[in-house]
Each structure stands twice: as C-alpha cells, then as structure tokens.
Amino acid sequence: MRRDPVLAPAVLLVWGAVGLFVLYPLGRLLVLTFWNAGPSLDAVRGLVGDWTHRAALINSLVLAALVGVAGTALGLGFALLAVRANLPRWLTRALDAVVLLPLISPPFTAAIALIFALGPRGLISYHVFGLTRVNIYGLSGTLLSETLTYFPIAYLTLKAVLANVDPNLEDSAFSLGARRWRVFRTVTLRLATPGLANAFLLVSAASLADFATPLILGGTKFPVLPTQAFLQITGLYDMRGGAALCFLLLIPALAVFAGQRWFTERRAGSFVTVTGKVGAATRVKTLSRTAVVALALVCGVIVALVLVCYLLIFAASIVRGLGADNRLSLAHYAHVFSGGLKAVRDTLVIAVICMPVGALFAVVLGFLVSRTRFPGRRTLEFAAMMNYALPGTIVGIAYLVAFNDAPLALTGTAFILVVCYVFRYSLAGTRATSAVLAQIDPSIEEASASLGARRDVTFRRVVLPLVRPALLAGMTVLFIRAMTAISATIFLVSLSWSLVTVRILEGITNLELGQASAFSVLVILLVYAAVVVASLAMRRLNAGSLGQAGTLLGG
C-alpha cells in the first residue's frame, strides 16, 4: 500500500536503530582489523604466527563439530523417547522440565558442577569411584560440559520435527512389509534429516560462541577463539588483536549461520511433512520395547547427571566449602544479599527495562517484515538478525570498539547494556510475531483500515492485542537472557553497572565457588519463576503453540 504516512517513518526508525547498533559496530570491528593507517593484514598475519591463536582456531572448529554431533545424537535420543515411545504424559513433562534447566541456567553452571562432580576431588570421580587421575580440564571436560548445556537445543528442534512426521506414514511403510528398523531408517529418520542437520548446526553455533565453559574448563592447554579474544583484550589490552581474533571467529560463525538458514528455508519446500490435519490417530510402533528401554537407560543417565550437577550447585551454595568443609552455612547467601546485592539489583533493573523495549522492537520488526512491503525489507530482516546470529564475544568486542570513545562513549552505562540485549535477543519475539501473524488473515487489518483506522491505529488496536502471546514470549526470552548472558556484556560492564553473571565469573576466578553457586541458584530460581509465570500467562492467552517455555528458547 503506497502513500502510507506511518510506514516510512517506522521503517526509517528501525533501519536507523539497526544501522547504529548492529552495522556500525561490526563495521568498526572490521576497520580496526584491516585498517592501520591504510589497508593492512598485519593483525591477521600476527595471529597466524602465534601458536595459541592457530590452536584456538582449530580447537574451536573441532570442539564445535564434536559438540554438534554429541548434542544432536543426545537430542535425537531424548526426542525419540518423548514423541515416539508412548511415554505417559507426566513423564514427558518431567523430561521437559529437567531438559529445560541447562537452557535457562547462567553460564558456568554446568562447568562448576562438573568440577564438583568430576574434578580432581570430585564427588563422583574421587568419592564414589576413587579415581585420582581424572582430568576434567581440556577438550574432554569442555566437550562434556557443552554437550550437557546445549543438547536441549537439539532436543527441542528434533522433538518438533519428529512430532510432525505423521505416524500414518510409518504405518503405510509397515503395511508394505517393512520391518521396524527399516521403517525407522527409510521413513522416520529420512523425514527428519533436514531437522537433524539443522539441530547439528544450531548446537555447533552455540558451541562456537560459548565463552564461559572453555574459560573455566579449557585451561591453558585448550584455547578457543572466544576466550582468546577475551584474554587478548582484558589481559593484554590489545584491541586490534582481539578484533582480529573476532574476525577469525566470524567466518565459521557466518558459515554455520548461512547453512542453518539454508536448511530451515529448504525444509519448508522439500519435505511437506506438516500437513494441516493428521490422519487417523495411530499408536506409534517404530520403536521396539528393547529400543525404548535402551533409549530410556541412556537418557536416564544424562538426566541423572544433570540433576546431580544442579544438586551439587545447590549443595555448594549452602555449605562452607563443598568437599572441604561440609558444614551447613548461609554465609554465601549472606554475601549475595549484601556485597552482591548491587549486581542482582542492576541485573534485574536492566532485565526489566529490556523486556518492554525489546518486545516492542521485536513486534514492530516482525510486523514490518511479514506484513508490509518496502524496498530493502529482506536486507533489514537479515541485518537485524546479525547480532543474534554472531557469537556474543564478537558483538561485545564490536560494541567495545564502537562505543568506548567519543562521540558515542556508552560502555559502562545501563543504556548500552540494554541496547546490547535488545538487539541480540529480540529475535525470538520477532519470530513469534511472524508466526502469530501468519495465522491471522490480512483481511482483519484491512477491515480495520476500511473502518477508518490509520496504519498506526490498526497496529495499536488490532495487531498489538492479537500478537500478545508473541509479545509475552519475546519478553520472557529477553528476561532470561538478560539474567544469564555474559559473552557480549562482559566487555560493557563497569563499576556503576555490573551483572550477576560477571559476579559469578569473579567468584570462580577468585576460587569462591560457594558464592558463585549461591548467585547461580538465585538466577536459576528467578528465571524458573519467570518461565512458570510466562507459561501460566500464555495459557490464559490461549496461545497453546507458543505456550511451552521450550519454544521460547529453542533456536
């Protein structure tokens, strides 16, 4: 619709914001890497000469691939158990609740817990099995910790994919004489292949971007790119070197992102497994009893491990020093609510500001890209996605480069923290908005226009109320991420504005694991409460499909 007086300003405003807070910092980052009083490759060349940096690149790629494979396999196991094993409803619910834990936990949680469980004096390794030569640091520990943290992403993706494979298709393969394993291989798995690839890429991207886990468990022998970039800047004050490391990380991250987009877009066309109406309800028969038992055993061990990890974190927070002095004590919580209170308050303030701002941005963007036509629409959609798709370390360093000096000296302010979260974590809300709008016939908006409402009035009175579920979903994700993120914002905090996650990291580096645990428990409780409230609100809004907290966080 041409000549709309509201559309053009809205598009310009969003473009302006995306330009300033997404494109400008990334541009500054590239300029710093490749421009030193003239075009220069010195910074990148310097990296290649350094053993640690070369190793970091290789380690990052190997780790991402391994975590991708392990996480996808585990996710597939859980997904099969959830949608193909005819489990009782309460058991799938319980499975979901446990699997959700790693997704909403602050970073480091799995890492600290693994140190407690499998470290040199770990509960499981030393106290249960009496092993003394277990080394949790390095590739194996990082791999285990990241797999435990990120397999839920694969689980949520594959659960949706498998749920859309109509059991009647499997039935028809059975009717043609195929046996279980053959049906599973040729029908179930075949139809889930794009989903598997997508899950692998999502998990790999998460591993590639992970900064917290290798920082704790990688040690000096296992450097990866995000931690190296962090240390280059905070340890050596070498901005150019940090920027160059970011560039090395940028290439595989973009490749994974492009691959993932290719798969999600192709999935819509190649296998039409999502038919509106499922055929006759049929009991799924692809998994034999033995297969179910085997899957249940594997998943049971993982669930137990996750639960033990979280129990250990909780235990560490309520004793003086887990493993050394196991007397009950509330000292760690006393610290959280005295010296640590400022960080808690700052984090909450920033999270609460982020929610409405980010959710509104998400809905406006979602509306613009899915319901209006303007030149450069696809480009805007892509640009707005950049900060979300790139590893937080890159975004954080880019912000540091762009906003540390005049004219835009913003680092250390609450403003830049909010901006960082809004442009990094609004995408979930944008997607939810597009999903909701896809179910609403455009004639509803035309009806409003025909009754004399301008575009902005229609947006306020019709679109906004209808996308309330998406708004809520967007706000929940923003809250969770603002409470738990660290990779980008660690470069932006200051004495006046600190974050809980940064305090957790300080606790770990100062070897005050009890304090770190107490902070973690607090964050987990707050976030879990938010998820529960959001789920209840969703149910009231009748937004069944968006109602599960899982969908809020998957992808």
Partner 1 sequence: MMTAERGKRLTLEHVSKRFQREGQAAVEAVNDVSLTVEPGELVTLLGPSGCGKTTTLRMVAGFEQPDAGRISIGDDDVTTLMVYRRSIGFVFQNYALFPHLTVFENVAYGLRVRRLSESAIRARVRQVLELVGLPGYERRFPNQLSGGEQQRVAVARAVVVEPQLLLFDEPLSNLDAKLRVQMRAELSRLQRQLAITTVYVTHDQEEAMAISDRIAVMHRGALAQLGTAEELYRAPRSAFVAQFIGRVNLVESRVLGITGGRMAVALWDSSLGVPAGAGYAVGQRLSLVLRPESLTLVTDSTKAGEGEVVVPGVVRNRTFLGEKVEYAVEVGAAVLQIVSYDPTRRGVIDVGARVGVACDAAAVRVLGAAP
Which ranges of 187-238 does DSSP label H, i.e. alpha helix?
189-209, 212-217, 225-234
Residue 469's alpha-carbon distances to 465, 537, 544, in angstroms, are 9, 9, 9
Q: Considering beta carbons, is residue 1 or 324 the nearer one to partner 1?
A: 1
Q: Which residues lie below 8 Å from residue 527, measured CB to CB, with a gap of 6+?
A: 104, 105, 479, 480, 483, 484
Residue 106 DSSP class: P
Nearer to partner 1, 1 or 280 (CB): 1
Our CA angle for 419, 423, 429, nearest 5°, is 125
CB of 275 to partner 1, least distance (A): 22
Residue 273 or 370 with smaller CB distance to partner 1:
370
Which residue, 121 or 371, has its beta carbon nearer to partner 1? Answer: 371
Nearer to partner 1, 447 or 532 (CB): 447
3-state SS class at 100:
helix
Closer CB to partner 1, 2 or 289, in the complex:
2
Nearest distance, CB of residue 384 and partner 1, angstroms: 23
DSSP state for residue 325 in the 8-state scheme:
E
Name beta bridge partners: 39. 35
Shortest approach of partner 1 to residue 247 CB, angstroms?
A: 36
8 Å CB contact between 362 and 433: yes
Binding residues for partner 1, rule: CB under 8 A, are: 1-4, 440-441, 443-444, 446-454, 457, 461-462, 465-466
∠ CA(218), CA(236), CA(510), 5° rounding? Answer: 50
| Nearest by Cα to 298 from 33, 41, 481, 78 | 78
Q: How far is the CB of 175 from partner 1 (least distance, A)?
A: 37
Alpha-carbon gap, residue 10 to 7, rounded angstroms: 5
Least separation in angstroms between residue 468's CB and partner 1 is 8
Which CB sits closer to partner 1, 278 or 447?
447
**Closest separation in Å from C-beta 114 to partner 1:** 48
| Separation CA 383–CA 372 (nearest Å) | 17
CB of 435 to partner 1, least distance (A): 16
What DSSP state is assigned to residue 496?
S
Distance CA 153, CA 99 (A): 9
